[in-house]
Structure 1
Amino acid sequence: MARRARRYAYGPYTDGPDPLAPPVDIRAALDEIGRDVMEGASPRSALQELMRRGMRGQRGLDELTREVWQRRSRLQRENRLDGTLQEVRELLQRALEAERDTLGRQDTDDARFREMQLDALPSDTGGAVRELNEYDWQSAGGREAYEQIRDLLGREMLDQRFQGMKQAMENATPEDVEGIREMLDDLNDLLANHAQGRDTQAQFDEFMRKHGEFFPENPQNTDELIDLLAQRAAAAQRMLNSMTPEQRAELMELSQQAFGDPRLAQALGQLDAHLQGLRPGEDWDGQGRFRGENPMGMGEATRAMEQLGQLDALAEQLAQSYPGARMEDIDIDALGRHLGDEARVDARALAELERELQRQGLFERAPDGSLQLSPKALRRLGEAALRDVVDKIGARRGERENRSSGAAGEATGATRPWAFGDTEAWSVPRTLLNAQLRRAGGDDRRLDVTDVEIVETEQRSRAAVALCVDTSWSMVQDGRWVPMKRTALALHQLISTRFRGDDLKLITFGRHARSVELGELIGLEGVWEQGTNLHHALLLAGQHLRRNPDAEPVVLVVTDGEPTAHLEPDGEAVFDWPPSHETLRATIAEVDRIAALRAAITFFMLGDDPRLAAFVDDVARRCGGKVVAPTLDGLGAEVVSDYLRTRKR
């Protein structure tokens, strides 16, 4: 028996997230957020900026907002609102021309009288249509055109409030019109009872049983029905508000002639009054300026006003400028309807990115309620910073380093013969003694490499590290703010993962100095203040070293200016420019106290200030420290390399 061929059906995937969508690039997103935070933005604003900017190959909220406003502008630029008035005028002119043509062929007093009636019609379209309501037409074509006016007005007015009504009421019979009037009466009765606080569910169910064909949206209760109708009624009112006073008055007068019965306009007016009272929060007063060439009918114009309202709501959602705004607030379906499927995909991807950042615990609430980067996020940023530093260290080959030599470690009192690769200091007495002994044995060479002995130094098992970073305003204005923070990130990551026994203290110094946690330093904003209080920073560094007497003391100073402030005994910071003798004396005294702890001190000098260069050179010679003049791009590599070299002692 032949096997039946399998049949397959394919359709769009609708159950949950798209399984073929590219994964969210959390690392790239966190790098961008981290960069903004280090530049001084809050984590919350950095996240919002990422959402506005978007990711590579993916539009952000700013681009989507721009497209929303372009769509809104095009809608107003290409259309105008007087399409119904224009169509009524054309039908009226056709009716009058047909009637005059018929009367012109009649040689009677009655024909002349009717011509006088037509000549005396009001100049405005609404008044003319009203006056012709009782006119006994002699022309079949004229009567037909006039009936089309009343039919058109009725269908347009209904199409404003009820979706698809214009097409449904085409060639409407008197029975159809009577059914509409009955529906409106029942609807107004339902809304009146609901406005009085009565339970209207049973009445609503009966209403939908009788008139549900007019509501393809299938609302489930009175409130849903009100929401549906109020949005359209408000759009219809905004359309009227957008017309000129003359157009508005003309249209309102014409509305009384809808289907040849003013009761329809009265019922719709009562409906609008109910809806405005039940939903006062809708935009009943707004308006828009339409200046295009494409005339729109009343129903079409009302839908255009609805679209403007939806586009305005989308623009507000995309702006995310209101308190508590989240990506989930964006109406993805509405965005897709107005901008297309690609916009829907981009917005969904941004929302997924925000959810994933939150889900992975990369943000947390501070005690004051603000959003801040979590330790997990700081670790990831540190990994990226350290990876960048390691790449730079590995890429440096053959570069001439701008350094001054200094102490290499703590001497043990013993010496040993020099071997290739040793960097410890020579023991001059032992080296000269070896040379003399060799010459006494008959070797005439004054000095040989075999004579050299070096001083052995002690390498301690752990280090106490104080990283002092300048946070004065010059660091911000000269672009040194972010490199300084990335340096702290890289060093912190290295110590916390590779040398966990070491104790790192981060110290910032401007007018005052203070000890900070990594997250606080990364989120630190630049503040304009005068003063580079290196004295206070070294004071805090010394306290850290003394709390770790069993550790190798290391002090790393990153600065772009000479000391211009010092701390008085009462805790007041005194600023002077040029630096006063008191400031320099206090700073040097603190350097001497740290040097007495046998600390390895390195100054990383940023910029080319000759006064700073002279100061750090003098201090380095005094304390046996080092001076490094790195580029901004190489600051992190220099600091990490110096720390590693110090640890090898």
Structure 2
Amino acid sequence: MARANRRLSSRARYTAYVDGPDPLAPPLDLTEALAAIGEDVMAGSSAEAALREYLRRGGADRPGLDELARRVAERRRELTSRNNLDGTLREIRELLDRAVLAERKQLARDVDMDEGDRALAQMQLDNLPASPAAAVGELDDYAWRSAEARGEFEKIKDLLGREMLDQHFAGMKQALADATDEDRAALREMLADLNALLDAHRRGEDTAQQFADFMAQHGDYFPDQPTTVEELLDSLAQRAAAAQRMRNSMTAEQRRELDTLAQEAFGSPDLMDALAQMDENLRALRPGEDWSGTQRMDGENGLGLGDGTGVLQDLADLDELADQLAQSYQGSQLDDVDLDKLARQLGADAVVDARTLQRLERELRRSGALRRSDDGRLALTPQAMRQLGKEILRAVAETISGRPGGHEVRRAGAAGELSGATRAWEFGDTEPWDVTRTLTNALVRTGGSGGPVRIEVGDVEVQETEARTRACVALLVDTSFSMAMEGRWVPMKRTTLALHTLVTSRFRDDDLQLIGFGRTASVMQIEELVGLDARWEKGTNLHHALLLANRHFRKHPDAQPVLLIVTDGEPTSHLEADGEVFFDYPPHPATIAVAVRELDASTRLGARTTFFRLGDDPGLARFVDGMARRVGGSVVAPEADDLSAAVVGSYLDSRRNGAFGGWGRDDDPFG
């Protein structure tokens, strides 16, 4: 047993989960995203633009890139409005004031002091210049009588040294708070070795071994532990450039004060010389960093040199994140977002939101909903069209079912004869179960264990029924520019997609043809119509559309013709005998005559016609009313948002109310 445990332990290795997708995250539901993308595509956007727009906007319970960008901008405003860059000068002034006050107290207490010396010392303290740098310079050789005052004054030099180093090496101010002479000597040695490394690298020498030796000796100064000299350069240059931007952002007076004070850092100019040499090397090796930028900061919180440099680095990170989240540059993608920087600036929740968006984009591209067309553009796939159509049809069904006498669309075909085929059960189905297929599915799923058979929803299959009469349907949709201009473009496409989905999923024996008509007419595939852009062209060629519809009806002589016409304008163009397009507005009598002739031909073929009149144009109303009376058809004048329900309802009414011989109320496809 012990041997078996040892074998098991030698095979199993467990470590902390560090990175990658959340293993406990629920599967992503792409339904909302596909619906939103589909709406934008129908409104005229490309699939690529629609995808990016959804990722920017986000979903009902999912923040998008715009929300993350807003939080980035808010964080930036917070940093610039709360802080200013005079913290080191303030701190030096406070130390100077404490030193002078302590010295004055000592002069007052020192009763044995010569009065002349006392008066001279007090006069020197009374006449210190207002400039902190000048005051520090005058007191540099002052004979302090107070040990406390001398200590406060010496803190100024120590503070300056630590701040100068903190500008270039984050955290150095705290690390050197209690530095000894030995610590300072080690620091100078590190700077000398670093400049030697940078000089060699600048000359183009192979510095791999020199870098390894440098890190072995001085690696404690670099907590991020760079693994190559290039990584070291990146880190140092980003910090040095931020320090330069901070200097650029100060007033000329502040720069003069700090330049003068810097010579007192650690009581020696050596530190400034070493840092200046390092900056020169970094500028030469990383000229692409922002060495000239400025930033206005007007807050109340004074930042020291090190903290101010850190804030300038934060601002650079936030600006970079803003660009990444905007996704406005050529070739941008969500994987460009720097999650480490996002975590530092906005916290772990923002990283979760960004990862979710990245995952959503990948899933949308991998799911089969989007594909690259032959010309390289992203497009919705037929699978996505079906999904979008189902969602639209579900909404249409809810609208129809909410009306008096309305029924659920999913019950289509329930009263027909059994076809012998089966399909998976879907919510709303009332067809009889195929018991054999259902039990077989349950047994296959459970492995036939011999115990009681438990049936789950996914096991159920129903018997498909046949429609008793086939329909030959022509949906004519107006694609003239007025449809887009009046806000009817997307409702028209939603209607087309809803009817296409209903016919192809529930009335598969029916033959639906989609015909778009503007200046001319053409038969269109559903993908083509859904992605159709609005075009500025004059003309509403109902004559050409009816010619194509009648050709469709003649190809299916054994089917019942159903003609559905959606338009918001009178016919203003028609085809001449030579194939040329004639256009005139107001409508020319010849245009009306040839449209009437083709509609009469539809009637002779047995078509039941319904006009869907959009808008309140009196001329259009007179025209469609007259045409409907002529052929015994009907007119529906829905609002644009109700167009889908009106067209689908009309199609189903044609099937239900006697347009197809032998159909009665019991054959209602709604059930």
TM-score bin, normalised by smaller chain = 0.7 to 0.9
Q: Could you list the per-position Cα deviations for residues 225-284 of structure 1 after superposition, in whole angstroms to 9, with x for gaps in the alignment?
A: 111111111111121122111112211221221101111111111212222222222222
Deviating more after overlay: 103-112 vs 72-81: 103-112
Counterpart check, 1:492 vs 2:496: no
Instruction: Name the SS for the 2:483 alignment partner.
Output: helix
Once the two structures are superposed, residues 265-317 of structure 1 have per-residue CA deviations (whole angstroms, 9 ceiling, x without a partner) of: 11111212222222222222222222121111111111111111122222222
**What's 1:473 paired with?**
481
Report what 2:39 is aligned to. 35
Aligned-residue offset at 1:47:
1.6
Matched, 1:51 2:89: no
Structure 1 residue 20 corresponds to structure 2 residue 24: yes
**How is 1:302-381 mapped onto 2 (pairs within 5 angstroms)?**
302-381=309-388
Confirm or deny: 8 A CA contact 2:84 2:302 kept in the other structure.
yes
2: CA distance, partners of 1:396 / 1:171 = 82
- Describe the superposition over 1:44-65 as per-residue Cα deviations: whole angstroms up to 9, x where unpaired: 2222222222222232222222
SS in structure 1 of the partner of residue 563 of structure 2: strand
Query: How far did residue 129 of structure 1 move?
Result: 2.6
Residue in structure 1 matched with residue 194 of structure 2 by the alignment:
187
Deviations 1:9-35 (A, max 9, x none): x99854643243333121122112222
Which residue of the partner structure matches residue 639 of structure 1? 647
Instruction: Give the CA deviation at 1:645.
Output: 4.8
The residue identity in structure 2 corresponding to 1:470 is D
Check whether the contact 1:241–1:285 (CA below 8 A) recurs between aligned residues: yes
- The aligned runs of 1:191-270 (5 Å cut-off) are 191-270=198-277
2:99 alignment partner in structure 1: 95
2:86·2:302 contact (CA, 8 Å) conserved in 1?
yes
Secondary structure at the aligned position of 1:21 is classed as coil
Matched residue SS, 1:558: strand
Distance 1:142 1:641 in 2: 93
CA distance in 2, matches of 1:79, 1:192: 36
Deviations 1:371-428 (A, max 9, x none): 21111110101111222333333333258xxxxxxxxxxxxxxxxxxxxxxxxxxxxx
The 5 A counterparts of 1:142-161 are 142-161=149-168
Structure 1 counterpart SS, 2:152: helix
Contact 2:133–2:257 at 8 Å: present in 1 too? yes
Q: Describe the SS at the equivalent of 1:577.
A: coil
Partner Cα distance (1:546, 1:280) in 2: 74
Residue 605 of structure 1 contacts residue 630 of structure 1 at CA under 8 Å; is this kept in 2? yes
Asked if the contact 1:103/1:112 (under 8 Å) is kept, the reply is no
**Worse-matched range after superposition: 11-20 or 162-171:** 11-20
CA deviation digits over 1:425-450, x for unaligned, max 9?
A: xxxxxxxxxxxxxxxxxxxxxxxxxx
In structure 2, C-alpha distance between the alignment counterparts of 1:537 and 1:161, rounded to whole Å = 74
Q: Give the match for residue 454 of structure 1.
A: none
Q: Give the distance between the partners of 2:646 and 2:101, measured in 1 at CA.
A: 93
* Aligned counterpart, 2:399: 392
Equivalent residue letter for 2:245: R
CA contact (8 A) 1:460 1:552 kept: no
Matched letter for residue 564 of structure 2? L
Q: What is the alpha-carbon distance in structure 2 between the residues aligned to residue 78 and residue 34 of structure 1?
A: 44
**SS of alignment partner, residue 62 of structure 2:** coil
**Alpha-carbon distance in 1 for matches of 2:159, 2:317:** 27
User: Which position in structure 1 is the counterpart of 2:295?
Assistant: 288
Do the aligned partners of 2:170 and 2:310 also contact (CA within 8 Å) in 1? no
Q: Secondary structure of 1:289's match? A: coil
Q: Secondary structure at the match of 1:20?
A: coil
Q: CA deviation at 1:119?
A: 6.6
One-letter identity of the residue aligned with 1:201: A
For 1:567 and 1:272, how far apart are their aligned partners in 2?
A: 77
Structure 1 residue 488 displacement after superposition: 0.7
1:516-557 Cα shifts (integer Å, max 9, x gaps): 221222122334443322123223333444455555443321
1:564 matched residue in structure 2:
572
Matched, 1:128 2:135: yes
Q: Structure 1 CA distance, aligned partners of 2:573 and 2:258?
A: 78
1:469–1:559 Cα contact (<8 Å) kept: yes
* 1:62 is aligned to 2:72: no
Letter paired with 1:295: G
Amino acid at match of 1:175: E
CA–CA separation in structure 1 for the residues paired with 2:325 and 2:331: 13
Q: In structure 1, list runs of 5 or more residues that go unmatched.
A: 1-9, 400-458
Q: Give the partner amino acid of 1:252.
A: D
Partner of 1:504: 512
Distance verdict in 2 for CA 1:191–1:549, change over 3 Å: farther
SS in 2 for 1:217: coil
RMSD: 2.8
8 Å CA contact retained: 1:470, 1:532: yes
Give CA deviations for 1:301-358 in whole Å, capped at 9, x if unaligned: 1111111112222222222222222222223343233323332322222222222111
Match of 1:554 among 551, 562, 566: 562
Give the unaligned 5+ runs of structure 2.
1-13, 407-466, 662-671
Partner of 2:620: 612
* Helix, strand or coil at the partner of 1:364: strand
Give 1 or 2 for the bigger CA radius of gyration: 1
Within-5 A mapping of 1:519-558 = 519-548=527-556, 551-558=559-566
How many angstroms apart in 1 are the aligned matches of 2:476 and 2:648?
Answer: 14
Question: Quick one: structure 1 residues 176 and 624, their matched pair in 2 at CA, closer, same or farther if it must change by over 3 Å?
Answer: same
Q: In structure 2, what residue type is equivalent to 1:210?
A: Q
Give the 3 Å change call, closer, same or farther, for CA 549–144 of structure 1 in structure 2.
same
Distance in 1, Cα, partners of 2:317 & 2:153: 36
Q: How far apart are the structure 1 equivalents of 2:153 and 2:649? A: 93
**CA shift in 2, pair 1:393/1:259, >3 Å:** same
**Counterpart-to-counterpart distance in 2, 1:284 and 1:186:** 24
Matched residue, 2:409: none
Contact kept in structure 2, 1:460 and 1:551, CA below 8 Å:
no
Question: Offset of 1:121 from its aligned partner?
Answer: 5.7
Q: Aligned residue for 1:72?
A: 76
Relative to the length of structure 1, the TM-score reads 0.82
Give 2:306's match in structure 1, choosing from 299, 320, 341: 299
**How far apart in 2 are the matches of 1:19 and 1:160?**
41
1:603 aligns with 2:606: no
Whole-Å Cα distance in 2 between the matches of residues 255 and 489 of structure 1?
73
Counterpart amino acid of residue 645 in structure 2: A
In structure 2, the CA distance between the partners of 1:572 and 1:189, relative to structure 1 (3 Å rule), is: farther
Measured in 2, the distance between the counterparts of 1:566 and 1:65 equals 52
> Matches of 2:637 and 2:146 in 1, distance apart?
101
* Deviation of 1:191 (Å): 1.4
Q: Whole-Å Cα distance in 1 between the matches of residues 478 and 79 of structure 2?
A: 55
- Between the two proteins, what is the percent identity of the paired residues? 56
Conservation of the 8 A alpha-carbon contact between 1:461 and 1:551: yes
Deviations 1:455-502 (A, max 9, x none): xxxx99654432211122332343322221111111211222234444
Distance verdict in 2 for CA 1:15–1:176, change over 3 Å: closer
- Given that 2:84 and 2:301 are in contact with CA atoms closer than 8 Å, whether structure 1 keeps it comes out as yes
